[in-house]
Structure 1
Amino acid sequence: MQRYSRIAIFLHWAIAALLAFQIAVGWALEDLGARGFMLFQMHKSIGMTILALTLARVAVRYWKPRPAPVEGGWQGALAKAVHAGLYLFMLGAPLTGWALVSTAKVKVPTLIFGLIPLPHLPLPMSANDPASAAHGLLAWVGIALFVLHVAGALRHHFLIRDGLLWRMIPGRSSVLLVALPASIALAFVLGRVILPAPAPKAAAAPTAPVAVEEEAPANVVEAVDNGAAPVEAENAVAIAEPVGPPPAWAVQPGGTIGFSVGNGGETISGGFSRWTAKIVMDPDHPDSADIRVEIDLASASVGDSYKDGMLAGDEFFDVAAHPGAVFTAKGAEKTGANSYRAAGTLTLKGVSKPQSIRFTLSGTGKARKVSGSATIARAPFGLGNGESGSGLDPKVAVNFGFSAKAE
């Protein structure tokens, strides 16, 4: 029986193994957050490799003679349709992925295997949603076609026994007959094995409140309605006991610290899932305030694992070298019936700068609700000062909301 050319055989099995790996990894990328950044880069690199190999396979298809079809009728037509669909998948999945990366709100540079820069396609940002939908759909279509293709090959080999499978084996070797299909299964297993272990669940809320605003990140930032209740002036009641040490406050579960930044007419919003705060303050005597907020920068997320990986990189938070941000303030001043301003220091990426936050209190006695905001300039801290942040606004809005109880 006539075989495919050796180069066609190599391309067939190489592409099949890479596709199996992509499928195994792709299923998990959405849930990995920042931990999946390197896998995203690998996913893109392998996707572009599949695109290049598929183009080579198309060229070989017309350069080297192919074996004649062994089956006609509807079975032969189905086989041709599956082959055509597989080519569409092998070309369309990488191209839609490329379009998805090129139209993302935050442009993440792509280096193929860390070496070759991949330019972004000149597409409008409105193409992002269609590209995302097409990429996801093609993945499922590809899996279905993959299964049909394998089923067809097994049917010919074990039921019809016409030796069709030997056409894609370089030599009549039983070892290769087992090893080459096994390489596809191994590639899938490898894709699952290299996935990061599940991240431990973070506590629902930090341990003490602080805010971040025009000059420092802390737990007490303007309420951005992330679950924080609105603050009403008439509800703010000062804690009694003007004499004696100021009370310490413990942040209750459910608190939030969020951030947002403009990007070419759109807004990118996210937040931090892990942070702690220590607050000492008598609302009647705000000068007694002693605030310290610590934020785990690795917990930053904008709801997209691809962009989350970029946040953890050198151009933004540089988590590997600077895992946390700290805001501290000694003393605060009253600016309204139950509103305050605290001027302190924000330390981020090894840089310390003056930072102020504004916050309001509502509630009475030993139970209070806090909401606040801050505005942080990116440039002094080196946040997004590379190519990835070229379209971002120069200032980031920070907001927070939480409940606290006096200890």
Structure 2
Amino acid sequence: MPQRYSLAAIILHWAIAALLAFQIAVGWALGGLGARGFTLYQLHKSVGITILALTILRIVIRYWKPRPPAKEGGWQGALASGVHFGLYAFMLAAPLTGWALVSTAKVKVPTLIFGILPLPPLPLPASAHEAFENGHGLIAWIGIALFLLHVAGALRHHLLIGDGLIWRMVPGRSRALLLALPALILIGFVAGRAIVPAGDAPASLARSAPDADTGEEADNGAQAINAAAAAPEAPAANAADNGSEAADEDAAGAPAAWSVQPGGTIHFSVGNDGETISGNFSKWTARIVMDPDRPETADIQVTIDMASASVGDAYKDGMLPNEEFLATAAHPTATFTAKGAEATSPGRYQANGTLTLKGVSKPQTIRFSLSGAGATRRVRGIASIARAAFGVGNGESSGSLAPQVAVTFDFSARRQD
């Protein structure tokens, strides 16, 4: 029988050990991060599936390549065998239950292994989610206990018994590797702790923070609106000239209809605990009737295809259509309508209308400016939307999102003759 494990088995042993230490460090922090831990959560899933794949490979090699004989018999040998068996069960069960709880979660988040390889959900009933979630946590603690027992056993053989058992997992009996390979476990744990955002409070504490935070976020949304309204535009004299020109062009008194030109944008952004999540809607239409010189004639309707929302991240984009956020299956479009507008300063306007989103209709104000001359105008504006009023972000993963969503738009419109 060989006196050490094969090189492939040794590599897999230390690689899996380092990854497990990383997972333990990250897993401890995930529960308190809320929406801030989204990216870390995806990494946790990717590493877990990697451990599952490496463990299966390790089992194949274990029965393919001859192994060194057992060093001990009796109850000590039975305990060692039991710990080894338990570790293999843990390395299989932990990622499998993680996969299962993701597959049965109410909010369906697509899983891309390291952002590349899609992982399909397991065909399991949603009613089993709580059992898988509790089981995943329990298995993690059992795994930590087995991990410590395994390390204690290795140290006992090497330091107390001195039978050289540990050299079975060290290529060439190298003393340098004897120090370097176990250090990988510490490095894995430290790396896991290092990438966890510092100063994170548990989600329950974050949700019970003083109401002043909400007011501050609302103030920030108002500041964003004011900033957009004050954005550089054509000089006031030019805006007045444009209004007079439009009045001349519509001598009959009928307000002009305007067609939106290709290339326009509708962006949205929301604060996420000090960071900003930004995205856009790629599909939308607008029907605009308005005489810039008589804003009370405005008749505006904007329809947005909610399934076209994207924040440029495959994971988060996969969450947007779900019930927690936009619920696009039941409510595929959002609509803003307004009858009439008012001038707030030359070339700048405010329209008080109605926003219908996720089947809920609420009053909504937008501010916009017009610039340009002739038959073409540039339209730029902003709105601050209270997402909770429309049930957008109504789940646990949304706890860190700011209450106000800033929506900005920028497009050109041409007068229809």
- In the superposition, the TM-score normalised over structure 1's length comes to 0.56
Does the 8 Å contact 1:329/1:344 carry over to 2?
yes
Aligned to 1:275: 218
CA distance in 1: counterparts of 2:97 and 2:383, whole angstroms: 45
CA distance in 2: counterparts of 1:32 and 1:273, whole angstroms: 21
Aligned to 2:309: none
What is the one-letter code of the residue matched to 1:37? F
SS in 1 for 2:112: strand
Please report how far the alpha carbon of residue 194 of structure 1 lies from its aligned counterpart in structure 2 after TM superposition. 1.5
CA distance in 1: counterparts of 2:159 and 2:388, whole angstroms: 68
Please report how far the alpha carbon of residue 331 of structure 1 lies from its aligned counterpart in structure 2 after TM superposition. 7.7
What is the one-letter code of the residue matched to 2:316? G
Aligned counterparts, 1:360-399, within 5 A: 374-375=389-390
Given the alignment of the two structures, is residue 64 of structure 1 paired with residue 38 of structure 2, yes or no? no
Please report how far the alpha carbon of residue 342 of structure 1 lies from its aligned counterpart in structure 2 after TM superposition. 4.5
Please report how far the alpha carbon of residue 345 of structure 1 lies from its aligned counterpart in structure 2 after TM superposition. 3.7
Please report how far the alpha carbon of residue 330 of structure 1 lies from its aligned counterpart in structure 2 after TM superposition. 7.6
Please report how far the alpha carbon of residue 297 of structure 1 lies from its aligned counterpart in structure 2 after TM superposition. 3.7
Please report how far the alpha carbon of residue 314 of structure 1 lies from its aligned counterpart in structure 2 after TM superposition. 4.1
Aligned to 1:7: 8
SS in 1 for 2:272: helix
Given the alignment of the two structures, is residue 169 of structure 1 paired with residue 170 of structure 2, yes or no? yes
CA distance in 2: counterparts of 1:195 and 1:47, whole angstroms: 17
Aligned to 2:21: 20
SS in 1 for 2:118: strand
Does the 8 Å contact 2:170/2:177 carry over to 1?
yes
Aligned to 1:313: 316
Q: How has the CA–CA distance of structure 1 residues 70 and 84 changed in structure 2, closer, same or farther, with 3 Å as cutoff?
A: same
Q: How has the CA–CA distance of structure 1 residues 93 and 274 changed in structure 2, closer, same or farther, with 3 Å as cutoff?
A: farther
Q: How has the CA–CA distance of structure 1 residues 200 and 91 changed in structure 2, closer, same or farther, with 3 Å as cutoff?
A: closer
Stretch of structure 1 that moved more, 34-43 or 96-105: 34-43
What is the one-letter code of the residue matched to 1:148? L
Given the alignment of the two structures, is residue 133 of structure 1 paired with residue 134 of structure 2, yes or no? yes
CA distance in 1: counterparts of 2:350 and 2:201, whole angstroms: 31
Unpaired runs of at least 5, structure 2? 223-267, 275-312, 322-335, 337-348, 354-361, 369-379, 395-402, 405-417
SS in 1 for 2:172: coil
Deviations 1:45-68 (A, max 9, x none): 110010000001111111011111
CA distance in 2: counterparts of 1:175 and 1:355, whole angstroms: 61
SS in 2 for 1:7: helix
Unpaired runs of at least 5, structure 1? 206-225, 228-252, 258-271, 279-293, 301-309, 319-326, 333-340, 358-371, 385-398, 401-407
Aligned to 2:365: 344
Q: How has the CA–CA distance of structure 1 residues 173 and 81 changed in structure 2, closer, same or farther, with 3 Å as cutoff?
A: same
What is the one-letter code of the residue matched to 2:365? G
Q: How has the CA–CA distance of structure 1 residues 179 and 102 changed in structure 2, closer, same or farther, with 3 Å as cutoff?
A: same
SS in 2 for 1:344: strand
CA distance in 1: counterparts of 2:272 and 2:147, whole angstroms: 37
Please report how far the alpha carbon of residue 355 of structure 1 lies from its aligned counterpart in structure 2 after TM superposition. 10
CA distance in 1: counterparts of 2:157 and 2:170, whole angstroms: 14
Given the alignment of the two structures, is residue 40 of structure 1 paired with residue 41 of structure 2, yes or no? yes
What is the one-letter code of the residue matched to 2:211? G
RMSD across aligned positions (CA): 4.3
CA distance in 1: counterparts of 2:364 and 2:8, whole angstroms: 68
Please report how far the alpha carbon of residue 354 of structure 1 lies from its aligned counterpart in structure 2 after TM superposition. 9.2
Q: How has the CA–CA distance of structure 1 residues 314 and 174 changed in structure 2, closer, same or farther, with 3 Å as cutoff?
A: same
Aligned to 1:254: 211
How many corresponding residue pairs?
265
SS in 1 for 2:124: coil
Please report how far the alpha carbon of residue 299 of structure 1 lies from its aligned counterpart in structure 2 after TM superposition. 4.9
Aligned to 1:122: 123
Does the 8 Å contact 1:34/1:311 carry over to 2?
no
Does the 8 Å contact 1:346/1:352 carry over to 2?
yes
Aligned to 1:241: none
Aligned counterparts, 1:46-57, within 5 A: 46-57=47-58
- In the superposition, the TM-score normalised over structure 2's length comes to 0.55
CA distance in 1: counterparts of 2:195 and 2:60, whole angstroms: 33
What is the one-letter code of the residue matched to 1:137? L
CA distance in 2: counterparts of 1:57 and 1:78, whole angstroms: 21
CA distance in 1: counterparts of 2:383 and 2:188, whole angstroms: 52
Deviations 1:117-156 (A, max 9, x none): 0000001101110110111001100000000000000000
SS in 1 for 2:173: coil
Given the alignment of the two structures, is residue 93 of structure 1 paired with residue 77 of structure 2, yes or no? no
The structure showing larger relative contact order (alpha-carbon pairs under 8 Å, at least 6 residues apart) is 1
Deviations 1:13-67 (A, max 9, x none): 1100100111111111111222221111111111001000000111111101111
Structure with the largest fraction of helix: 2
Q: Which has the larger radius of gyration?
A: 2
CA distance in 1: counterparts of 2:178 and 2:55, whole angstroms: 23
SS in 2 for 1:171: helix
Does the 8 Å contact 2:33/2:201 carry over to 1?
no
